[in-house]
């Protein structure tokens, strides 16, 4: 892939509160962040972590 065609991304990981997930994701989405995945956090299944990306 040539250098001009290569897209650069920045990434963020954020903890999700089960009772407020939509509001948290909506807030990040307004700033241009796209949800990539949600996985259990290191503390176990009670804590979720969202992984997001947006063009740099």
Concatenating the DSSP letter of every residue in 1-52 gives --GGGPPPEEEEEEEE-GGGHHHHHHHHHHTT-EEEEEEEETTEEEEEEEEE
Give a yes or no: residue 48 inside a domain.
yes
4 inside domain: no
Does residue 2 lie within any of the structural domains?
no
Residue 16 lies in a domain: yes
Does the predicted TM-score (pTM) go above 0.85? no
Is 3 within the bounds of a domain?
no
Q: Is residue 20 part of a domain?
A: yes
What confidence score (pLDDT) does residue 45 get? 66
pLDDT in single tens digits along all 56 residues of the chain: 566 678 899 999 999 988 899 999 999 999 999 999 999 988 776 789 999 999 99
Parent domain of 16: 9-55
Give the total number of structural domains in the chain.
Answer: 1
């Amino acid at each position: 892939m040539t250098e001009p065609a290569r897209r650069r991304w920045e990434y963020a990981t954020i903890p999700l509160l089960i009772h407020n997930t939509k509001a948290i994701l909506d807030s990040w989405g307004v700033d241009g962040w796209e949800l990539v995945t949600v996985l259990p956090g290191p503390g176990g299944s009670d804590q979720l972590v969202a992984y997001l990306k947006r063009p740099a």
